[in-house]
Structure 1
Amino acid sequence: MEEYAERLIVPWWLWLPGLGAAALLATEIWMGSTGVRAWLPFAVLLPLAVAGLWWVGRIRVRVAGGELYVDDAHLPVRFVTDVVPLDASGRREVLGVGADPLAFVVQRPWVGGAVQVVLDDPEDPTPYWVVSSRHPAKLAAALLAARDATRAATR
């Protein structure tokens, strides 16, 4: 059963400058030429821009089966000690100068919120995960509920 899921897609308003930059670069290469140079830059750069924008927005965050999945990384919730929902300023503070270099971070600048997942795993030096989320309070609640359910099941 999946308790929480979201995808950190690129918003539509960021596609406009991305595709615009690709079109501008293709126009610069074209520069009024004829033949292959007239169409090849557009045929290559515009699909590359679409693929790149899709690729950076492919990250899925989900809580299912007693684990937190972030893209292809996963964390058993039994190691979670606390989850802190963060707004944009809280995320900036956690990822700022005092950030731990061993932290696991999946951050997307177009997503305002995040969660800090504090860990207690004696075999892993990672102190916490910071994961972008559009709904940090819901993600935090799902993680804590999954952790509590896992702990209750093991007793």
Structure 2
Amino acid sequence: MIYRERLHVPWWWVLIAALFVLSLAVAVYAYVDPLIATVFTVLAAVGVGLALVAYSATTVGVVDGAVVAGRNRVSLDWVAGADPLAGETARAALGRDANHRDFLLTRPYVPGLVRIRLSDPADPHPAWLVSTRRPEDFAAAVNAPRNAG
């Protein structure tokens, strides 16, 4: 089973970024030569846009026999299982019930999580906590090879 999800930023982050660049432009145009202010504003807009695109490029899922979380991969051979977490359970997993040894790939605008338990005794992380918009589907994809055999 293959599962892939891109953790793109919500539309309102783009709106906030545009308002941020606009406020920079207003401040710079008030004190600097218009040509320099225009160059600064364009460069600021490009920089903020690239930052949003880079933050949105994160993908998570199960591909080619491995769990993928951003640039990180772990083979399904080393996965003991996965549990979907949503709502208060997900918040508790990142808060009061957190394990400081867990590997985290979380996004504040994505409400769901999957806890992926690892079986590798040499791994310093007993589990991965990965943000996802569809925790049940992601957990099912991680657990599918174990359930099939």
State the TM-score, normalized to the length of structure 1: 0.88
Shift of 1:32: 5.5
Q: Using the alignment, how far apart are the partners of 2:44 and 2:86 within structure 1?
A: 35
Q: In structure 2, what residue type is equivalent to 1:127?
A: P
Q: Secondary structure at the match of 1:31?
A: helix
1:18 alignment counterpart: 17
Equivalences for residues 1-155 of structure 1 within 5 A: 3-31=2-30, 33-149=32-148, 152=149
Q: Using the alignment, how far apart are the partners of 2:102 and 2:133 within structure 1?
A: 20
Q: In structure 2, what residue type is equivalent to 1:62?
A: G
Q: Secondary structure at the match of 1:121?
A: coil
Q: Secondary structure at the match of 1:6?
A: strand
Q: Using the alignment, how far apart are the partners of 2:60 and 2:71 within structure 1?
A: 10
Q: Secondary structure at the match of 2:88?
A: helix
Q: In structure 1, what residue type is equivalent to 2:48?
A: A
Structure 1 vs Structure 2: percent identity of aligned residues? 31
Q: Greater CA deviation, 68-77 or 92-101?
A: 92-101
Instruction: Give deviations 1:80-124, integer Å, cap 9, x for gaps.
Output: 222111113222101113312211100011111110111121111
Structure 2 spans left out of the alignment, 5+ residues: none
Q: Using the alignment, how far apart are the partners of 1:19 and 1:143 within structure 2?
A: 38
Instruction: Give deviations 1:31-71, integer Å, cap 9, x for gaps.
Output: 16434333122111111111011111110112122110111
Cα-Cα RMSD? 1.6
Q: Is the 8 A contact 1:111 1:133 kept in 2?
A: yes
Q: Using the alignment, how far apart are the partners of 1:48 and 1:117 within structure 2?
A: 34
Q: Using the alignment, how far apart are the partners of 1:138 and 1:98 within structure 2?
A: 23
Q: Is the 8 A contact 1:102 1:127 kept in 2?
A: yes
Q: Using the alignment, how far apart are the partners of 1:22 and 1:122 within structure 2?
A: 48
Structure 1 spans left out of the alignment, 5+ residues: none
State the TM-score, normalized to the length of structure 2: 0.91
Aligned residues: 149
Q: Greater CA deviation, 90-99 or 41-50?
A: 90-99
Q: Is the 8 A contact 2:105 2:131 kept in 1?
A: yes
Instruction: Give deviations 1:12-37, integer Å, cap 9, x for gaps.
Output: 12210112112212221221643433
Distance 1:88 1:14, change over 3 A: farther
Q: In structure 1, what residue type is equivalent to 2:20?
A: A
Q: Is the 8 A contact 1:10 1:56 kept in 2?
A: yes
